[in-house]
Structure 1
Amino acid sequence: MPDNSVNRPRTLATGAALLVAGIALTAFGWSTPALVLAVKALLFLLGLAVTYQGLSRLLLGIRGKRTDLLFNLAMIWLVGIVLAAILAPVLPLGEHNNVAATLYEPINMSPQLLTDHPLGTNNQGLDLLSRSIYGARTSLVISLLAIAIGTVVGGSIGVIAGYFRKGTDSIIGIFTNALLAVPPLILLIALSTFLTPSTRNLAFALSLLSIPGMVRLARANTIAFAQREFVMAARLMGATRFRIMLRELVPNVVLPVFSMAVVMISVLIVAEASLSFLGLGIQQPDPTWGNMVAEGEGGAMEDYPHIVLVPGTFLFLTVFAFNLLGEKAQQRWDTRSAKL
């Protein structure tokens, strides 16, 4: 409901002033060549903070009640990056992997908004905006495919373990604990020595990180729901075990597993970026956020920080947005559970 204590005209005026000041400060921090990098970064971040406060106050003045602006902005970012990744081949982007096509392009160009390379170029003249979007395409496909495999396989195993219990549960528990006992990065490095770095193989390797957690979560929820009245009623009516699991248990286990899956997407994006950074993931010149950050090695970070900051910002914002989405999904699940 609208908050009657809000002075709308004053809130709108304050919000508009903060918004204008924030945009001006952000643009100045981004574009000015007269300041050192640390000061430019500080001004840019300060401008973003002021812009955020201005938007918050404007929405408060317009709606008369507070809005979860951070979550809304995160969802706008996710929708935007997903659409950009899908439509990348038809968007008017610069060259992202063909070095032969960039012989006459400037190398290590700093970001300049009103140019053909608004986010700059790397040491081969490839456009960083284009590489970041195509990198999002690779990272998202690998992570989503991995979490789909992990959710289906881990969730199914967890439901079986939680419903049958006894020996089945013990055997599944041993394999689950064995996977959890291996440090994730060591497991991925070991798998990468046997698997050719491709989208399919990386997705399979990363799915092993999510399966143990999915098994445990699905098992715990299955045990809880298996004692509920509707499951008992299905048993008394003669329903088979498979039907009980599929019709009664799985629909109730899906929501908490889905909430965890959304959070795990961010973990898998970081894991894929780590492998690519180490040279064990998708290889150059095909871009991923990890191997783009690796381009800043060897002193390039000091002289051309945008080479690292551009893909690093894309990676940070995407992981942050998925974490917010997962947190919101978990809150919805907790609210639903409290009502049951």
Structure 2
Amino acid sequence: MAVLEIDGDTALASPVAKRRKLGGLFLCAVAWVLLIGLAAVFATILPIASPTDMDMLGKRALPSAEHLLGTDSLGRDILSRLIYGARVSLTVGLLSSVIGVTIGGALGMLAGYFRGRLETLTVGGVDVLLAFPPLVFLLAVLAYLGQTVLNITLVIGVLSIPAFTRVARAVTLSLSEREFVVAARALGATHGRILLRELLPNVSLPLVAFFLLGVAVTIVVEGALSFLGLGVPPPAPSWGSMIAEGRESLDIAPWLAFLPAGTMFITVLAFNIIGDTLRALTDPRPGAL
């Protein structure tokens, strides 16, 4: 077991010490994300009601054995709609961030490693995408292609590319002249080998942390689109659309809006905590955590 001598005191540099740095809040965030993810994946086999079945005689019912979180203004089971709504939010959040980190990460690494004209073109293209109003782009594309999960995922994924490109380029620039890269060049390693074997493992760590933060932002974006009526069309459940439907009953049944809003808030907070913790752990600066 490795030990570090700091001002005469012995500190253990072990996995146990690193786990202590993670803290209980991080573990709670991971547990919540796993719970929401598993519920969304296995929604079809869970013993819950259909999210679209209506019961006009049981509108805005309070929690009971039949409906654990009650029913909405159309008599639909709220728990079921929250779980199926998690499918939409997590699908859009994860897949759009995968698009961003894959394309943006590759572009950023190439630009930061080769520099020159490629870097100029990449940075220029990123600046153009960042300057274009994202809401206008979303409205135009969704109005033309239609409001489906696939289209929403693709559009948000394209809009997330510039952020990942900047992160990957910045990290690659800081690593491209490090000793291990210089040594690989001196040994005759090809550009492809250096990018894949030397730089990618080091660039991927901050990208994973930023990926989780991107998932949190994307969930909020999807919720905002659904709230405005630009997300997945009804009767498919979505957290944003549930909040929009619940605001009409705030005076008599405020939980219809607060439950999906609270679920989205906790999920976004959990992804932010995980992402921030991993970012701190992968930050090479002393005292980053």
Q: 1:303 pairs with 247, 252, 256, which one?
A: 252
The 5 A counterparts of 1:30-49 are: none
The 5 A counterparts of 1:195-274 are: 195-274=145-224
Relative to structure 1, is the Cα distance of residues 118 and 183 closer, same or farther in structure 2, using a 3 angstrom cutoff?
same
Letter in 2 for 1:217: V
Say if 2:239 is the partner of 1:280. no
Question: Could you state the TM-score of these two structures normalised by the residue count of structure 2?
Answer: 0.88
- 1:126 Cα deviation from its structure 2 partner: 0.6
Q: 1:329 pairs with 262, 278, 281, which one?
A: 278
* Count of aligned residue pairs for this structure pair: 268
Aligned-partner Cα distance in 1 for 2:21–2:202: 32
Aligned-partner Cα distance in 1 for 2:176–2:286: 17
Aligned-partner Cα distance in 2 for 1:67–1:257: 19
- 1:191 Cα deviation from its structure 2 partner: 2.4
Aligned-partner Cα distance in 1 for 2:120–2:277: 33
Secondary structure of the residue that 1:322 maps to in structure 2?
Answer: helix
The aligned residue for residue 191 of structure 1 is 141
Secondary structure of the residue that 2:173 maps to in structure 1?
Answer: helix
Report if the CA contact (8 A) 1:139-1:288 is conserved: yes
Say if 2:34 is the partner of 1:79. yes
Relative to structure 1, is the Cα distance of residues 258 and 96 closer, same or farther in structure 2, using a 3 angstrom cutoff?
same
Secondary structure of the residue that 1:303 maps to in structure 2?
Answer: coil
Report if the CA contact (8 A) 2:22-2:277 is conserved: no
The aligned residue for residue 88 of structure 1 is 43
Long gaps (5+) in structure 2: 1-19
Q: 2:59 pairs with 101, 107, 123, which one?
A: 107
Q: 1:320 pairs with 241, 259, 269, which one?
A: 269
Letter in 2 for 1:223: L
Q: Tell me whether 143-152 or 189-198 shows the greater mean CA deviation.
A: 189-198
Report if the CA contact (8 A) 1:147-1:207 is conserved: yes
Aligned-partner Cα distance in 2 for 1:83–1:224: 38
Q: Tell me whether 124-133 or 76-85 shows the greater mean CA deviation.
A: 76-85
Superposition CA RMSD, Å: 1.9
Aligned-partner Cα distance in 2 for 1:243–1:194: 42
- 1:183 Cα deviation from its structure 2 partner: 3.4
The structure with more radius of gyration: 1
Letter in 2 for 1:108: R
Aligned-partner Cα distance in 2 for 1:66–1:240: 39
The aligned residue for residue 56 of structure 1 is none
C-alpha distance after superposition, 1:273-299 (max 9, x if no partner): 1111111110111001011111124x3
C-alpha distance after superposition, 1:194-240 (max 9, x if no partner): 22212211111111232111101101111111101111122122222
The aligned residue for residue 8 of structure 2 is none
Letter in 2 for 1:120: G
Secondary structure of the residue that 2:58 maps to in structure 1?
Answer: coil
Aligned-partner Cα distance in 2 for 1:66–1:182: 40
Aligned-partner Cα distance in 2 for 1:68–1:241: 40
- 1:187 Cα deviation from its structure 2 partner: 2.8
Structure of higher RCO (CA pairs closer than 8 Å, 6+ residues apart): 2
- 1:262 Cα deviation from its structure 2 partner: 0.6
- 1:337 Cα deviation from its structure 2 partner: 5.2
Secondary structure of the residue that 1:274 maps to in structure 2?
Answer: helix
Letter in 2 for 1:74: A
After TM superposition, which residue ranges in structure 1, 4 or more long, deviate above 6 angstroms?
none
Report if the CA contact (8 A) 2:108-2:169 is conserved: yes
Secondary structure of the residue that 1:232 maps to in structure 2?
Answer: helix
Aligned-partner Cα distance in 2 for 1:196–1:289: 19
Aligned-partner Cα distance in 2 for 1:226–1:254: 14
Q: Tell me whether 242-251 or 267-276 shows the greater mean CA deviation.
A: 242-251
